């Protein structure tokens, strides 16, 4: 997955786990590199522009090394956990995995845990949202999972009727041309 940050018109966004690793690594590496370079240059009696130059070089070098390490670390983390990114809204941060399971409770949750797949879950925050906020939050998650390359599968053990959250999710996928498999 190419490390790209996705934004949408609501201000909510999805971010790849690789981008998080890259940016966090660059910030930490740049800070460490800059401080180390400053101290070494200072010990060697560098002053003025020369000191600033060495410090900046330390920041740049540290950021590059940190970014590479952060990216590699994020890749390992992603491989180990299956998490490819995060769906971030003002109400929730939900991890996105390579496969996203939707369906009727508890079937989809049990299946997701068994297969290390992702599923939509914002805890009891859901109960405090208005109908419009629920719909927006849910569709944002689906959009984010799709942007991050997740594959969708639906596990439902009962007839899915209109005006349910699952019905809305399936309609969102269909209306946006997002492929899914049904079990």
Instruction: Give the pair of three-digit tokens for residue 166.
Output: 């699952």
| Region 88-107 residues binding other proteins, contact defined as CB under 8 A | 104-106
Beta bridge partners of 88: 13, 93
Nearer to other proteins, 24 or 109 (CB): 109
Helices 165-175, 131-147: inter-axial angle, 10-degree rounding: 40
Q: With CA atoms as reference, report the closest residue to 92 among 131, 138, 145.
A: 138
The DSSP string of 66-81 is HHHHHHHHHHHHHHHH
Question: Closest separation between CB of residue 145 and other proteins, Å?
Answer: 17
Per CB under 8 A, the list member of 48, 123, 177, 179 interacting with other proteins is: 123
Does 158 sit near other proteins (CB under 8 A)? yes
Out of 43, 163, 177, 179, which residue is the one contacting other proteins (CB under 8 A)?
163
* Binding status of residue 124 toward other proteins by CB under 8 A: yes
Q: What whole-number distance in Å separates Cα of residue 55 and Cα of residue 80? A: 36
- Choosing from 157, 181, 182, 183, the residue that interacts with other proteins (CB under 8 A) is 157
Region of 75-83, 92-100, 128-136, 147-155 interacting with other proteins (CB under 8 A) = 128-136
165 near other proteins (CB under 8 A): yes
Cβ-count burial 121-138 (b if 16+ within 10 Å, e if not): ebeeebeebeeeebebbb
Residue 114 in the binding site for other proteins (CB under 8 A)? no
Helix 17-43 with 48-81: angle, nearest 10 deg? 150
* Nearer to other proteins among residue 31 and residue 165 (C-beta): 165
Q: Which positions lie near other proteins, rule CB under 8 A?
A: 104-106, 109, 121-124, 126-127, 130-131, 134-135, 157-159, 161, 163-166, 168
């Amino acid at each position: 997955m190419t490390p790209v940050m996705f934004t949408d018109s609501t201000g909510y966004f999805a971010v790849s786990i690789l981008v998080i690793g890259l940016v966090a690594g660059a910030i930490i590496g740049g800070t460490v590199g800059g401080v180390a370079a400053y101290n070494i240059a200072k010990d060697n009696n560098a002053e003025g522009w020369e000191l600033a130059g060495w410090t900046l070089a330390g920041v740049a070098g540290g950021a590059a090394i940190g970014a590479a390490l952060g990216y590699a670390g994020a890749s390992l983390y992603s491989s180990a956990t299956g998490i490819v990114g995060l769906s971030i809204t003002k109400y929730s941060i939900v991890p996105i995995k390579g496969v996203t399971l939707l369906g009727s409770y508890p079937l989809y949750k049990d299946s997701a845990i068994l297969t290390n797949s992702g599923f939509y879950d914002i805890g009891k925050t859901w109960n405090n949202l208005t109908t419009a906020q629920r719909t927006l939050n849910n569709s944002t998650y689906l959009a984010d999972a799709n942007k991050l390359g997740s594959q969708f599968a639906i596990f439902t053990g009962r007839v899915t009727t209109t005006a349910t959250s699952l019905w809305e999710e399936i309609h969102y996928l269909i209306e946006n041309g997002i492929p899914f498999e049904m079990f």
